[in-house]
Chain A
């Protein structure tokens, strides 16, 4: 599979505080890459650099290069970058004053879609794609925030999918969910990876093993090791990785 996102010597700062040090990774298309590591090691920061949300933080600064299909992200228009690289957050954040329908339609409206049939089709497809359609088919006009936590998270996934991104970033998408909702999102991830480059940050090592093809282990803002998931968990090259995946710290 070709490389979708090429990250080269990426460093990131919050004011004087450096959160990432010279991170270089290739993220493969049509595959899931898991980012693991103890909390505070820069996973979220890394993910937020990939669609340039990092620059919204106070005092934020980056160095290095990220290329999407060979095109430099830093030079592209930030709004279209975020359209092409969708993001799902740790805590489900549907727009509280919008209905289920409007939540998914929001991105399409930004692209200029106005016609009723087009919006209907786009929203329905995204909801089906996110595996939510059967559950909300009859409550499209209910507030997005009235859904259960797991449904809200899938609504946020549908919201991101509606604008047809090429990359899907997910920051601990299941950490706020119960086991059943988590299983649904994981099943969804397994389907989505055949169409997108998926990058998932997770705290849960078992989950990383289940869902990812490649795993990257971060520690103190640096990439310690990247490799096929089975290999990284089975026979890690680095001592640090071995200690972490065997639960000796974290």
Chain B
């Protein structure tokens, strides 16, 4: 008998040991994901603390009057925020005004009107437009859009308004109007992409319900689609607004960077982000503190827009449109009818019935008009993207087919007009981008995925709602602020002049985190509960179910989210201008300034103004464009591919 008990006890003991170790690992996992959730809060609090801390001298000196002040006088030490705040609000409003109709037209066409074979390519180009780095848009705007506006649009506006207030004669090519138009060009794809998805998400039965009672296609869209899609459409617009408010580089290229409030859109000006990126590196003392205060104001604006959006979207989700227009008098019950008596046609119905064919012509006319307008919107939205790709190909095409372009450094300084510049390359910039994005991804992707797991699988309480809200807010924080935040952290803990590859990577990591967290959360939430319950019922521990089964069954969505985050980092400029510094040389020390693809374009135009790097900059732009084109395509294909079933 002893011989029988022995192995059984042994088996039970080993099962106990395994269980305990599993529990330990489950607990460790749980602590780990919670720590990431806490980390996100720490990042946001750190952002607030450092910006406000940096601004303290300025706040003490100017008080609330800072907001109304109109000067930025470094020698006399007088600083005020109003020109930049006004510039931000005006350019964003202008961008929204121009972009929303076009973007909605594009979304409508892509979702409701376009023939089916055209829908996928169209969606791809919209995605691509949203993925093009802002520095590339800015570069294109400076070379193509701004001269076009200056040559054809500005004079007509001046003539039409008779030189009156909003269009009084300006001082040159760069102006507030150009900034507004560039912003519009940039946010059209963003708004269109999300709006298209919102429209697509409306169940097809609703459209058919409307068609079934004799609606034209546009009427069906208006009656059955726009209402349910409204929260998504509002969200799209607010996201576009957020992007316009925070956009830095493209605005800095075209707005003229003069600190003044003028009555004319044709005058030069500045916005908060453009003023920050222009002045931050050279600023000191009270001037820098005032820049911190500007940054804090920008943070407040972006948070307010973000939270306002949440409230607005909720309102629309609850169906704000259901409230009747005005109080309704109760309807008298109609007289009882004998069964079998037809509805009959009251005089008013007969009247409308008689006018049916005339009215039908008008309704078909409206339908046609909507189609024409939507096609027009697509044409308007396509022009910048086509022109941009064309310009980049023409100017940078020769560079990118030359092997040495990838292996050599930019040529030594070579004056404008000099004809025999040595051919250089952007090898160090590619290296810098790879190193910084690689470092950032190595940290931010795993942490971001853990954060997403925390939000979707573990957190159930108020704290998790706070974290979710903060992720939303962080997603909307302008990247220039992330640059300033990381710069300040490194300033506090390192040598004062320490712009470095590490700092750049840190900024990119902070930028990627919320994107990956949100993508992971959404991907995990899309996995049906039955999958989890199935695995849990088999007795697998929670963390293994999450890691293997749940993550496994949404792998492609996860990969897509990570790819998009990496692309955003690869195209980022504003945050790197402050944190990575500028360099034209190969990396020798990760603690020294480093060049990268996107910032190189900015530097070529704004820093090395005596050199002739334009061709190389176009080459860099084209490389970035090609990267975005390939990755957008990969992301699109990954979403289509069915997920392999995860195994425990």
Report if B5 contacts A (CB, 8 A): no
A244 shortest CB reach to chain B, Å: 28
Taking A51-B212, A80-B356, A99-B324 as contacts, is the C-beta distance between A194 and B340 under 8 angstroms? yes
Is B319 touching A191 in the complex (CB atoms < 8 A)?
no
Interface centre among B334, B345, B359, B364 (most CB of A within 10 A): B334
Contact of B333 among A51, A83, A124 (CB under 8 A): A124
Residues of chain B contacted by A59 (CB below 8 angstroms): 116
Is the Cβ of B340 less than 8 Å from the Cβ of A140? Answer: no
CB-based contact A113/B352 at 8 Å:
yes
- Among residues 316 to 358 in chain B, which have CB atoms less than 8 Å away from a CB atom of chain A? 319, 321-324, 328, 331-334, 337, 339-343, 345-346, 348-349, 352-353, 355-357
The B559-615 residues at the A interface (CB cut-off 8 A) are: none
State the Cβ distance, B380 to closest chain A Cβ, in Å. 28
CB pair A93 B206 closer than 8 Å: yes
> In the complex, A95 Cα to B225 Cα: how many Å?
9
**A137 at the B interface (CB under 8 A):** yes
B646 at the interface (CB under 8 A from A): no
Contact B343 A125 (CB under 8 A): yes
Q: Are B214 and A95 in contact (CB under 8 A)?
A: no
Instruction: Give the Cβ gap from A94 to chain B, nearest Cβ, in Å.
Output: 7
Q: Does A121 contact B (CB under 8 A)?
A: yes
B residues with a Cβ closer than 8 A to A are: 116, 203, 205-216, 219, 223-224, 227-228, 230, 319, 321-324, 328, 331-334, 337, 339-343, 345-346, 348-349, 352-353, 355-357, 359-360, 363-364
Q: Which residues of A contact B348 (CB under 8 A)?
A: 113, 115, 118, 121
Known: A110-B219, A163-B214, A164-B343. 6 other contacts (CB 8 A): A59-B116, A80-B356, A110-B363, A115-B348, A140-B331, A195-B340
B363 close to A79 (CB less than 8 A):
yes
Give bound CA distance, A124 to B346, whole Å: 13
Pick the contact of B343 from A56, A115, A129 — CB < 8 Å? A129
Which residues of chain A come closer than 8 Å to B363, judged between CB atoms?
79, 110
Residues on the B chain within 8 Å of A9, using CB: none
What is the minimal beta-carbon distance from A117 to any residue of chain B, in angstroms? 8
A125 touches B219 (CB 8 A): no
Q: Does A49 contact B (CB under 8 A)?
A: no
Q: Which residues of B contact A94 (CB under 8 A)?
A: 209
Asked whether any CB of chain B lies closer than 8 Å to the CB of A236, the reply is: no
**Which of A91, A96, A98, A107 contacts B213, CB < 8 Å?**
A107
Set of chain A residues within 8 Å of B324, measured between Cβ atoms: 99, 101, 141
A125–B343 alpha-carbon span in the complex (Å): 7
Contact in complex: A83, B213 (CB < 8 Å): yes
Set of chain A residues within 8 Å of B207, measured between Cβ atoms: 56
Contacts of B230 in A (CB 8 A): 97
Let me know if A200 is at the binding interface, CB within 8 A. Answer: no
Stretch of A33-41, A153-161, A213-221 lying at the B interface:
A153-161
**Residues 84 to 109 of chain A near chain B (Cβ within 8 Å):** 86-89, 91, 93-99, 101, 106-107
The contact sample of 5 A-B pairs, CB cut-off 8 A, is: A79-B216, A79-B360, A106-B215, A110-B214, A137-B331
With a CB–CB cut-off of 8 A, which chain B residues contact A95?
Answer: 206, 209-210, 223-224, 227
Given contacts A120-B331, A125-B334, A141-B328, A80 and B360 within 8 Å (CB-CB) = yes
A126 to chain B, nearest CB (A): 8
Find out whether the CB atom of B319 lies under 8 angstroms from the CB atom of A143: yes
Give the Cβ gap from A225 to chain B, nearest Cβ, in Å: 29
Min CB–CB distance B150 → chain A (angstroms): 45
Task: For B208, give its contact among A56, A80, A83, A115 (CB under 8 Å).
Answer: A56
Does A122 lie at the interface of the complex (its beta carbon under 8 Å from any beta carbon of B)? yes
Judge whether B209 and A191 touch: CB under 8 Å. Answer: no
8 Å CB contact of B212 from A58, A82, A115, A122:
A82
Contact: A96 with B227, CB < 8 Å? yes
Is A21's CB within 8 Å of the partner chain B?
A: no
Known: A159-B213, A164-B343. A77 touches B333 (CB 8 A): no
Q: Is the CB of A164 within 8 A of B349?
A: yes
Assess whether B227 is in contact with A53, with CB atoms less than 8 Å apart: no
Contact A89 to B319, CB < 8 A, known contacts A96-B227, A159-B213: no
Cα(A164)–Cα(B352), bound, Å: 12
Chain B residues within an 8 Å CB radius of A96: 206, 227-228, 319
Q: Nearest 9 CB-CB pairs, A to B?
A: A97-B227, A83-B214, A87-B212, A107-B213, A93-B209, A194-B340, A93-B205, A82-B214, A118-B348
Q: A86-B212, A95-B224 are in contact. Are A124 and B331 (CB under 8 A)?
A: yes
Main secondary structure of the interface of B (DSSP, over half): helix
Taking CB atoms, residues of chain B closer than 8 Å to A140 are: 328, 331
Known: A79-B360, A96-B228, A97-B319. A121 touches B216 (CB 8 A): no
Q: Among A93, A118, A123, A164, find the residue whose CB has the most chain B CB atoms closer than 10 A.
A: A93
Proximity bits, A45-63, B CB within 8 Å = 1, else 0: 0000001010010110000
Cβ contacts under 8 Å, A118 to chain B: 346, 348-349
The listed residue (B206, B208, B322, B349) touching A53 by CB distance below 8 A is B208
Please report the C-alpha to C-alpha distance between residue A130 and residue B290 in the assembled complex, in whole angstroms. Answer: 69
Which single residue of chain A is at the shortest CB-CB distance from B229? A97
Query: In the complex, what distance in Å separates the CA atom of A93 from the CA atom of B211?
Result: 12
- Decide: A122 and B349 in contact? CB cutoff 8 A: yes
Q: Which residues of A contact B206 (CB under 8 A)?
A: 93, 95-96
A160 CA / B209 CA spacing, docked (Å): 9
Inter-chain contact B205/A106, CB cutoff 8 Å? no
Chain A residues positioned under 8 Å from B341 (CB to CB): 195
Distance between Cα atoms of A119 and B328 in the complex (Å): 12
In the assembled complex, the Cα of A91 lies from the Cα of B108 at a distance in Å of 26
- Residues in chain B near residue A98, CB distance under 8 A: 223, 227, 322
Chain A residue nearest to B335 in the complex (CB): A128
Nearest-CB residue, chain A, relative to B209: A93
Nearest CB in chain B: distance from A129 CB, A:
6
In the bound complex, residues from chain A placing their C-beta under 8 Å from that of B319 are 96-97, 143
A112 at the B interface (CB under 8 A): yes
In Å, the complex CA distance between A98 and B228 comes to 10
A53 and B352 alpha carbons, distance in the complex (Å): 24
In the complex formed, the residue of A with least CB distance to B328 is A141
Q: Is the CB of A91 within 8 A of B205?
A: yes
Q: Residues of B contacting A162 with CB < 8 Å?
A: 213
Residue among B203, B328, B331, B352 with the most chain A CB within 10 A?
A: B331
A133 to chain B, nearest CB (A): 7
- Cβ of A113 to closest chain B Cβ, rounded Å: 6
A107 with B214: in contact, given A95-B209, A121-B334 (CB under 8 Å)?
yes
From the candidates B209, B322, B356, B360, name the one contacting A97 in the complex (CB within 8 A). B322
B210 x A106 contact (CB < 8 A): yes
A206: interface (CB < 8 Å): no
A111 at the interface (CB under 8 A from B): yes
A122-B342 Cα distance, complex, nearest whole Å? 13
Q: Which chain A positions have C-beta within 8 A of B322?
A: 97-99, 141, 143
- The CA-CA distance from A139 to B516 in the complex, in Å, is 45
CB neighbours (8 Å) of A121 from chain B are: 334, 346, 348
Q: Is the CB of B337 within 8 A of A128?
A: yes
Nearest B residue to A106 via CB reads: B223
CA distance A133 to B319 in the complex (A): 24
A89 in contact with B352 (CB, 8 Å): no
CA gap between A151 and B482 in the complex, in Å: 54
- B331 CB contacts on chain A under 8 angstroms: 120, 123-124, 137, 140
Most interface-central of A97, A110, A194 (chain B CB within 10 A): A97
Evaluate contact between B213 and A97: CB separation under 8 angstroms.
Answer: no
Assess A133 versus B208: contact at CB under 8 Å? Given A58-B116, A96-B227, A163-B214.
Answer: no
Smallest Cβ distance from B208 to chain A, in angstroms? 6
A52 CB, min distance to chain B CBs, angstroms: 9
Interfacial chain A residues near B337, Cβ < 8 Å? 128-129
Q: Give Cα distance in the complex from A128 to B333, angstroms.
A: 8
